[in-house]
Copies of this chain bind each other. A is one copy, B any other.
Amino acid sequence: MKEGPDIALIGSLIGDPARANMLTTLMTGKALTASELAAEAGITAQTASSHLSKLEVAGLLTQRKQGRHRYFALADDEVGNLLEAMMGLAAKRGHMRARTGPRDPALRKARVCYNHLAGDYGVRMFDSMVARDFLAEEGEEIFLTEEGEGFVGELGIALPDLEKSRRPLCRSCLDWSERRTHLAGALGTGLLDRFYDLGWAHRIEGSRVVSFTSEGERRFRECFPEA
């Protein structure tokens, strides 16, 4: 009986893992750029672009152009509610995401979260800097203290350059593997870039894994002692 609305269309849109990842990420309510969503879903920009346009045409996402960026967000509350309902059902049935793969342990240890360090190392760095009062938390906001400015300066980071960009210097980001906060923002990006420059670590091609050299690992642990 072909009566009523077409749920298969919406189902198939949510049914693709890459799109489901994007939608889940957007459940935070924050609008994200196409590249951020691509990184989150673990796909290239081309593929993400195709997915995002499908989701927008179907009315699940809205798009806002801002300069070179395109920010995507869930179209409205109803979409969020539907996703929430699906998560509820999935959780009840025990359908958790499969997370078994050879790359997985490396991903949990250290990976890029769009442009900054995440995973165990990302959280460790953040905690260590907070413990030594280099970073101060005020609610959602995070500030670099005066001592912190000295610290990152010694590391060889040019703060004035970072402050020139319109991005906030410090932002918090929630880690899916650790379920704790790590450092994002211009400083988060700056620190990771500095680790690359210092030769402590490098990106694994075609993956989000950040691989530390043994020397780099030693220096990193020295630099960010556990609290």
Contact = CB atoms under 8 A, between A and B. Distances in A.
A83 B5 CA distance: 10
A2 B15 contact: no
Interface stretch (A46-54, A96-104, A131-139, A217-225): A96-104
Contact of A3 (B3, B11, B78, B107): B107
Interface in A78-105: 78-79, 81-83, 85-101, 103-104
Number of copies: 2
Contacts of A81: 85
Interface residues of A, number: 59
A8 interface: yes
A17 B10 contact: no
A82 to B, nearest CB: 5
Interface string A1-28: 1111111111111111101110111000
A5 B85 contact: no
A104 B3 contact: yes
